Amino acid sequence: MTIAVEEVEFTYPGGANALRGVSLRIGSGEAVAIIGENGAGKTTLVKHLNGLLKPDKGAVVIGGNGNDAPWNTRDHSVAQLAARVGFVFQNPDDQILERTVRAEVAFGPRNLGMPEAEINAAVQSSLEQVGLTDAADNHPYDLLAPQRKLITLASVLAMRTPIVIFDEPTMGQDARSVARIGEIVKDLKSAGRTVLIITHDIDFCADHFERIVVMADGRVLADGAAEQVLTRTELLATTNVEPPQLVRLAQALGLPHAPLTIDGLVVTLLQ
Amino acid sequence: MIRLRDITYHYPRATTPALDKLSLEVPAGQLCAVIGANGSGKSTLCYALAGFVPHFYRGQLSGHIEVAGIDVAQSSLAEIAGTVGLVFSNPFNQITGARFTVHDEIAFGMENMGVPPDEMRARIDEVLRFAGLTDLADRSPFALSGGQQQRLAIVSVLVMRPKVIILDEPTSQLDPVGSKEVFAVLRDLAAAGESTIILAEHKLEWVAVFADRVLVLQDGRLVADGPPREILTGDNLHDWGLEPTRYTQVARSALNAGRRDNGEALPATLEAAVEYFR
């Protein structure tokens, strides 16, 4: 499902001018990472995609390229949009409500009116994906904060929405969970879902996302293929981001290109 | 400065210990990183050093914890707070809620310590600048973004100049350059001998650059303790649920792909990797 953000401007009540004219078109099945300094407007932008925020100026349209009707977020409720856009908040405690992990993960699909048998299957498979099958009957708050984040990820996966948005999915996660989240992104991509993440984890971006959007000061600073964007050291520095470790190494060694994979860099190094 | 002897700790109702026979000594002025998988005991160790275990979390503690001459289990949190500062991983847990502006939130700890007003003003201005919060000083702490709240939580502790600073993943919500700046300030504080620092952290790239020493926890036990390069390039890292930095991974892959091994230690930092491949 497609996402179209057209000339969106937004100011929070109280004055913070968070978006100053953002345009972005994301195709069906694309995987896009949004990066940029704290306060760049990343979270404000994605909160427009599920209707939590409505633009002061401009428009956000979800779908409309193929079988699905275009939904302007101004004309649809957050509840309606939830059927199209799954959203994992930065802080899991903003969205956990239920008394067991299983009930929490079932909440979203049930709300969407999914048949009970299908809900069970969706809950089961999404708990497997995040590695929390054994914790299904625990109280969410008996788990550690990084695991609670995985619960919210599972909740969104279980809703099987055509678009999924993760705000800082790898924050506070250890290496195994980061790898697991990478696998989830891969699975979503191969299932043709549209995936959007916000992250400060630039190495994770380089590993899993082909398209990178760089934001600063409420605007899109750059938007393009990972190989191009993640090697623009000076541009990234203006929004408090450094290129991935591999790119920094290639650049420090003065290599002709800066591959984004370990294998790619090893080949270049051994030439 | 810090001495743990045979620490075992169970959270209330827990059957397995969160810390298991942990013994450790950290001299003054050291920046000591604590790494390990989620659930390995990093946060619990932080809480124990700052007295939140057992005074706040209760549960069962055995062994002896001494921090800056204070017997932590025998002292109140108020007695410990003047000497030991703790930065939580979630800034939400840290912000007092007792003050209405960023400025007053930063002043809160110093007021309780009786710092003279002139000195207080100077220190507050300094940390506001460092945190990039000068223009937001009159805003409510709860009206800040996640990253701004995290910077507020860090400087609210630093401003008290505690002898011992404990930080539990202090930069999880900060952008890459902002994170690096925080680690650099911590390194400088330790190097100047002003503070002894314990830093629980997942970002191994910066642990490799800034830490003097690395402790590895697994299931509440201390399984490794040594200089960053030695620990972070060791073969055991995967067994502990950790991933080496890309610099280490590239060097190892290059060796496997036929690069001549000149016996040099694998690199964990950018600087060492440049040296290694030159």
Amino acid at site B173? Q
* Cβ <8 Å between A246 and B259: no
ipTM: 0.91
The DSSP secondary-structure symbol of B119 reads H
> B141: cis peptide before it, omega within 30°?
no
**Helix pair A101-111, A116-130: axis angle to 10 deg:** 130
Question: CA B82, CA A116: separation in Å to the nearest integer?
Answer: 56
Q: Is some CB atom of chain A closer than 8 A to the CB atom of B168?
A: no
With an 8 Å Cβ cutoff, are A262 and B243 in contact? no
Q: Is the pLDDT reported for residue A15 higher than 80?
A: no
Measured between alpha carbons, how far is A127 from A105 in angstroms, rounded to an integer?
A: 8
Asked if B61 and B54 count as a contact pair (C-beta separation under 8 A), the reply is: yes
Mean pLDDT, range B110-128, rounded to an integer: 90
Q: Are A118 and A74 in contact (CB under 8 A)?
A: no
Q: How many residue pairs from chains A and B have C-beta atoms closer than 8 A?
A: 115
Q: What's the pTM?
A: 0.92
Query: Cβ separation of B146 and A91 shorter than 8 Å?
Result: yes
- The one-letter amino acid at A269: L
DSSP B225-239: EE-HHHHHTSGGGGG
Phi, psi of A13 (to 5 degrees): -60, 130
Which residues fall within 8 angstroms of residue B160, CB to CB, at 6 or more apart?
A: B82, B85, B109, B110, B113
**Alpha helix (H) residue ranges in chain B:** 42-49, 52-55, 77-81, 102-113, 117-131, 146-158, 176-191, 204-210, 228-232, 246-256, 270-277
Mean pLDDT of chain B: 93
Place A243 in a pLDDT band, splitting at 50, 70 and 90.
Answer: very high
b/e for B213-227, b at 16 or more Cβ within 10 A? bbbbbbbbebebeee
B 92-131 residues with CB below 8 A of A? Answer: 92
- B203: pLDDT strictly greater than 90: yes
Residue type, B182: V
In this prediction, residue B142 has a pLDDT band, given cuts at 50, 70 and 90, of: confident
Contact A177 B243 (CB under 8 A): no
List the domain boundaries for chain B: 2-228
Q: Which residues of A touch B253 (CB under 8 A)?
A: 262-263, 266
Chain A interface residues (partner B, CB cutoff 8 A): 14, 36-39, 43, 90-91, 93, 144-147, 168, 171-179, 200, 202-203, 237, 239-242, 244-246, 248-249, 252-253, 262-263, 265-267, 269-270
* pLDDT at residue B208 greater than cutoff 90: yes
- Residue A244 clears pLDDT 90, i.e. is over it: yes
Of the CATH numbers 3.40.50.300, 1.10.760.10, 2.40.40.20, 3.30.1490.20, which one belongs to the domain with range B2-228? Answer: 3.40.50.300
Picking from B78, B68, B22, the residue whose alpha carbon sits closest to that of residue B197 is B68
pLDDT of B275 reads: 95
CB contact under 8 A, A245 and B246: yes
Lowest mean pLDDT segment, chosen from A192-196, B33-37, B82-86, B251-255: B82-86
Residues of B whose CB is below 8 A from A267: 257
Give how far B113 is from chain A: nearest CA, Å: 32
Q: Give the type of residue at B84.
A: V
d(C-alpha B256, C-alpha B254), whole Å? 5
